[in-house]
């Protein structure tokens, strides 16, 4: 069997996610350092900010604003190009959608290196870096291109398994990126970290160009009859409108049976899943470092790495085996149930072993997303995969903003009475999700 048909887009999403987690952790530290040095101009104090509570509070308050601005710009700017790219890739191919985000990330990483090397550079240069990364599509473009590619090269019989394996790369890449970032920062400098970040993008670009074959190029439906290739601004605007309208048409298109309703329900399920995921991620470190858990930063890092690794290991090891024994929709329901149970346990946890047990239980929750993506892919036509996955990826991105905003506001309101209440609310969302996947 040709190895180029066995190993396809998995390294692409692994490299991008590993480097993204690597960058995210280092960026937080860099922003804190730059703000502290701007405010107090004391390098020794800024390297040991935890020993100076008053200065730390001021620095973290401003850093939170800068990081929120960074995330907002990155998220908002990544959605429009990805919506256009999804429909465009259905006609022109998937590889460009995997290359462009790496180009943007390389440029953004170069700006961050300049921020480190030139002390006079403002901390707000990181927002400019996020704008470049976002304009080139960021992980939204990576997700839609990778999963569309998998849909192109698979059949109904093996699509769910392959999507599960690709999703496992998200967890494994996150684990590697998080651990590698801590090790690099402890032994080297910010420049080395962002250099590795850029290096991952370059490797990914060459991998796509030299190893990855375009998926089903002969089956592409060309747009040459609809749009002439010209530099005319009027025609260019028409082409942009056409790609956007094709994406909308994929959602609104009448389909046989109840397929359109099923597609809408899958999108609603995606909203619930990612609102909870974003909310959990935004408040988890606050919850675990608050009494009675009292997690240290090191223990939280160990917990996060174990949780991500287990999520990836079950998708790449257990999930393909279970598909041969259990119906895929049953696995989706199992994923929802264990997610519900893990959130309830986390919400009522009072000791470290309960928190770690919730991570073990949560490892099966990735089944749900893999199955739902596969079902959605089976509903739409082969030349609609990019448009459909661009909608899913854009919804996920919007839900990050919604989930973070909602649970960041809810968590402080119940902190003194019931710190874990937010996780119980998330568990309630899982009940709704369980009803929807019936």
**How far is residue 159's CA from residue 385's CA, in Å, rounded to a whole number?**
13
Confidence at 225, pLDDT banded by 50, 70, 90 = very low
Higher pLDDT: 235 or 251? It is: 251
Other C-beta atoms lying within 10 Å of the C-beta of residue 89: 28
pLDDT attached to residue 298: 75
Domains of the chain: 1-214 (1.20.1250.20), 256-438 (1.20.1250.20)
- The pair of structure tokens assigned to 131 is 């704008």
The confidence score (pLDDT) of residue 227 equals 42
- pLDDT of 126 > 80? The answer is yes
pLDDT tier for residue 243 given thresholds of 50, 70 and 90: low
CA dist 43 and 256 (Å) reads: 66
Q: What is the pLDDT of residues 49-73, one digit of tens each?
A: 667 778 777 887 788 788 888 988 9
Which string of DSSP letters, residue by residue, matches 253-303? ---STTHHHHHHHHHHHHHHHHHHHHHHHHHHHHHHHSTTT---HHHHHHH
pLDDT value at residue 129: 96
Judging by beta carbons within 10 Å of its beta carbon (0-12, 13-18, 19+), is residue 84 exposed, middle or buried?
A: buried
Please give the distance of CA 393 from its chain centroid, rounded to a whole number: 9
Whether 236 has a pLDDT exceeding 50, the answer reads no
pLDDT, position 231: 45
What are the tens digits of pLDDT across the range 346-388? 999 999 999 999 999 999 999 999 999 999 999 998 888 998 9
What confidence tens digit (pLDDT) does each residue in 73-107 have? 998 999 888 888 888 888 888 999 999 999 999 99
DSSP 228-249: -----HHHHHHHHHHHHHHHHH
252-300 residue pLDDT tens: 788 888 899 999 999 999 999 999 999 998 899 888 888 888 887 678 8
Model pTM score: 0.86
pLDDT higher than 80, residue 134: yes
* pLDDT tens string 399-417: 988 998 899 889 989 888 9
At residue 174, does pLDDT exceed 70?
A: yes
| pLDDT above 70 (res 217) | no
pLDDT surpassing 70 at residue 242: no
């Amino acid at each position: 069997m040709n190895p180029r048909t066995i190993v396809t887009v998995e390294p692409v999403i692994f490299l991008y996610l590993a480097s993204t987690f690597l960058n995210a952790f280092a960026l937080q530290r860099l922003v804190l350092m730059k703000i502290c040095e701007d405010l107090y101009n004391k390098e020794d104090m800024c390297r040991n900010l935890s020993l100076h509570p008053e200065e730390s509070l001021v620095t973290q308050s401003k850093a939170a604003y800068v990081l929120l601005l960074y995330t907002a710009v990155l998220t908002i700017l990544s959605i429009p190009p990805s919506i256009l790219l999804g429909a465009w890739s259905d006609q022109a191919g998937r590889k460009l959608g995997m290359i462009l985000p790496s180009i943007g990330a390389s440029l953004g990483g170069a700006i961050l290196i300049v921020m480190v090397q030139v002390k006079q550079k403002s901390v707000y240069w990181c927002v400019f870096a996020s704008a470049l990364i976002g304009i080139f599509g960021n992980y939204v473009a990576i997700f839609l291109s990778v999963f569309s590619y998998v849909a192109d090269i698979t059949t109904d019989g093996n699509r769910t398994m392959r999507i599960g394996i690709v999703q496992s790369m998200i967890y494994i890449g996150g684990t590697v990126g998080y651990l590698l970032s801590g090790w690099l920062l402890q032994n080297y400098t910010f420049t080395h970290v962002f250099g590795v970040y850029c290096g991952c993008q370059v490797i990914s670009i060459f991998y796509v160009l030299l190893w990855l074959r375009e998926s089903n190029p002969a089956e592409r439906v060309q747009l040459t009859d609809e749009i002439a290739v010209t530099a005319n601004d009027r025609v260019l605007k028409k082409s942009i409108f056409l790609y956007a309208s094709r994406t909308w048409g994929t959602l609104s298109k009448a389909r046989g049976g109840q397929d359109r309703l099923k597609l809408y329900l899958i999108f609603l399920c995606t909203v619930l899943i990612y609102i909870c995921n974003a909310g959990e991620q935004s408040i988890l470190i606050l919850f675990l470092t608050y009494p009675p858990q009292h997690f240290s930063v090191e223990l939280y890092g160990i917990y996060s790495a174990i949780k991500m690794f287990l999520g990836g290991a079950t998708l790449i090891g257990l999930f393909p085996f279970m598909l041969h024994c259990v119906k895929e929709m049953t696995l989706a329901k199992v994923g929802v149930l264990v997610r519900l149970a893990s959130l309830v346990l986390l919400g009522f946890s009072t000791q470290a072993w309960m928190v770690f047990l919730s991570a073990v239980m949560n490892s099966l929750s990735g089944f749900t997303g893999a199955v739902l993506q596969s079902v959605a892919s089976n509903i739409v036509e082969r030349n609609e995969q990019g448009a459909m996955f661009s909608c899913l990826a854009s919804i996920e991105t919007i839900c990050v903003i919604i989930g973070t905003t909602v649970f960041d506001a809810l968590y402080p309101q119940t902190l003194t009475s019931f710190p874990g209440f937010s996780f119980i609310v998330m568990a309630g969302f899982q009940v709704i999700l369980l009803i929807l996947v019936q």
